[in-house]
Amino acid sequence: MTTPGALVATGQLHLGASVVAARTGDHDAVRGHLDEASRIASSTGDQVETLWVAFGPTNVRAHHVITAVELGRFGDAVEQAADLRFPAGWLPTRIGHHHIDMANAYLGMNRSQLALSELLKARAVAPLQARRHPQVRRVVDMLVRGERRRSTSLATYLTWLETA
């Protein structure tokens, strides 16, 4: 099928499969799924909320970041995200998740301040997600454990999380 909805759904399935492949360490499958999603996205363009899914070249780029983080390739994740911009109307939770992914990348690179900065961006765009997401809690826990003396910004974020 080549209807717009079918293309969006197929592309989104490839993106999901790329994340699963990354979590199992299957580099070839990650590359194959991202390549196929990219091929589909080149014909759809950025679709905002088609079938309740945001799909297109931007989401493919965001999944390059996610899969790089999952594969432990943190520098690649940062490089992929360098000029990533979300179109107007993009789902706030998708943007928030991107910042959570970036927080994980920076945490993996031992760049605590940048990790916290990404969590603050996630909070600004999707506060409920940033408060409830288990990856946020894991990053904050790791930041707290890694600090010799708690920074004011981390203490403030931690207080915000605990007042949920």
What's the pLDDT at 84? 94
Separation CA 110–CA 119 (nearest Å)? 15
Whether pLDDT at 121 is above 70: yes
74-92 in b/e burial notation, b at 16+ Cβ within 10 A?
Answer: bebbbebbeeeebeeebbe
Choose the weakest-confidence range: 6-20, 28-42, 44-58: 44-58
27-38 in b/e burial notation, b at 16+ Cβ within 10 A?
Answer: eebbeebbebbb
Whether pLDDT at 47 is above 70: no
What's the pLDDT at 110? 95
Mean pLDDT of 25-54: 83
What's the pLDDT at 17? 97
What's the pLDDT at 118? 98
**More confidently predicted of 68 and 56:** 68
**E strands, the chain, in order:** 47-50, 53-55
Mean pLDDT of 43-55: 66
Question: Comparing C-alpha atoms, which of 92, 80, 144, 150 is closest to residue 121?
Answer: 92
Would you call 6 helix, strand, or coil by DSSP?
helix
User: What mean pLDDT is reported for the chain?
Assistant: 91
Choose the weakest-confidence range: 109-113, 117-121, 144-148: 144-148
Whether pLDDT at 94 is above 70: yes
